[in-house]
Amino acid sequence: MTSFTSPTDSTASGRHDEPPTLRQIDWLAVAPWLLIARAPAALIGWPLVFAGLGAVLLDQGILEATRLGAEGADPLASAVRHLASWPQAYVELVTTGTLFSSTLAVFATIGRALGWLVVGLLVVETVGNKLTGTTPPGVIRIARNALGLMPSLAAAVAMPSIAALLLAGGLRSVAWLSDGQLPALVWAVLAVGVGFPLLLLAGGALLLSPLIVAAIVIDRSDAFDAISRAYAYTLQRPFTLAWCLAFAVVIGIAGGALLEGFIAGVTTSLGALDLSAPTGPVSIVSALSRFARGYYPAYFFAAGAAIYLVMRHRVDGQAIDENATNTAPDSQTA
């Protein structure tokens, strides 16, 4: 919000002791999407700690794809690669069947995916308060609230997944019962009729997961309401959503470039010392670099929360600073 002085007629009236009139411009009322620019600053504190720990503990599942081939790469190019590869790896982690090489790998992959969703809850629980102008609770309360919302999040993940599995199972049953004797035209109709709902349910729910997480955390929505909001906002204002996404990418790249420049500078400085011991400062900096790159998943969820607030304002007319985290922080439904 910007303030500026406005001239008055105090001089003409002979009175010089009156203070100048202050007028304020509420930039978020003029351009709500500017809220996305606050997302990186909202990450300072516990959100970066949560995501940094996730980057270290869950690195094999997602952030493996975001590692640089050379630490001395151009910071801007590095930021672009990181910002693009993290959502891609997130999608692959949840959807790619080739990761399931054994029963143990299945549970490990599911565990990492759930771990990142918990990180998302923790990040949005804090960032959601900051973006709406309220003071976040303490870290213990944040953890309690986020874990308490896990049933709603699990239901939001399960609902489209079960529906997609039922559709896929139905198509497979038709193929089995017909023994492959159906005409090609009928198969084409079935493929389109079933494939589009599958894409809408499974793919849509996955791509819209940041909005779903934000709805569950910020508005304490149940699973059905969170999914409904995410799809409604997307279908009713697709161009607004596209603009918000584009602006979020620009802001994310800018923040990532600063981060990569800092990491490259520190790594280059210590590399000049030729400290190659496994337990030396170079390995410590490598671990800290992975921790610092928790910025990317943190920003992924924080930008999703900011976009959710903007879309909610555009579609439902709710105030951007309206949230349920202060009124009912421990209440949720699945």
Task: Tell me the pLDDT tens digit for each residue of 281-297.
Answer: 446 777 788 888 889 98
Does 281 or 236 have the greater pLDDT score? Answer: 236
Task: Say if 214 falls within a structural domain.
Answer: yes
pLDDT value of position 314: 92
Whether 109 is covered by a domain: the verdict is: yes
Q: Is residue 31 part of a domain?
A: no
Q: Tell me the average pLDDT of the chain.
A: 75
Residue that is written with structure tokens 């998943």 in the block: 297
Distance of CA 195 to the CA centre of its chain: 27
Please indicate, yes or no, if residue 27 is contained in any of the structural domains.
no
Report the percentage of the chain scoring pLDDT > 70. 58
Is residue 165 domain-resident?
yes
Q: How confident is the model at residue 44 (pLDDT cuts 50, 70, 90)?
A: very high
Least confident of 86-95, 174-183, 216-225: 86-95
120 lies in some domain = yes
Instruction: With CA atoms as reference, report the closest residue to 210 among 39, 59, 330, 78.
Output: 39
Residue 2's beta-bridge partner residues?
A: 25
What are 23-37's pLDDT values in tens digits? Answer: 556 677 778 889 999
The more confident residue out of 33 and 77 is 33
- Is residue 46 included in any domain, yes or no? no
Q: What's the domain count of the chain?
A: 1
Q: Tell me if 25 is assigned to some domain.
A: no
Q: HSE on the CB side for 71, CA within 13 Å?
A: 16
* pLDDT tier for residue 102 given thresholds of 50, 70 and 90: very low
Q: Which residues are within 8 A (CB) of 247 and not within 5 positions of it... i.e. 6 or more apart?
A: 33, 36, 37
User: Is residue 237's pLDDT more than 60?
Assistant: yes
Higher-scoring residue by pLDDT: 76, 90: 76
For residue 176, the enclosing domain spans 52-316
| Backbone torsions φ then ψ of 50, nearest 5 degrees | -60, -50
* Cβ(152)–Cβ(331) below 8 Å: no
Total-model pTM:
0.76
